[in-house]
Amino acid sequence: MPQIPPFDLSGKVTIITGGRRGIGLAIARAFAAAGAKVIVAGAFPCRAWASIR
């Protein structure tokens, strides 16, 4: 499988819905690792906070 080149999201702000688990959480972590500021929106903010720590 071909590798995807790394991407730079420095200075970008992202909003992730459903970022508490699954694909949403993986995307939130990937964006944060790429330098973005990540906002995780969901129905249960306390649970989202626990997931992203």
* Strand spans (E) along the chain: 13-17, 37-41
Structure-block tokens of residue 53? 């720590």
Task: Confirm whether 40 is domain-assigned.
Answer: yes
The pLDDT confidence band at residue 48, using thresholds 50, 70 and 90, is low
Helix (H, G, I), strand (E, B) or coil at 46: helix
Give the chain's mean pLDDT. 83
> What CA–CA distance (Å, rounded) separates 52 from 32?
10
User: Can you give the pLDDT at residue 8?
Assistant: 92
Task: Confirm whether 34 is domain-assigned.
Answer: yes
Q: Are 40 and 52 in contact (CB under 8 A)?
A: yes
User: Can you give the pLDDT at residue 4?
Assistant: 75
The total of structural domains in the chain comes to 1
The pLDDT confidence band at residue 49, using thresholds 50, 70 and 90, is low
Range of the domain at 43: 13-52
Mean pLDDT of 47-52: 66
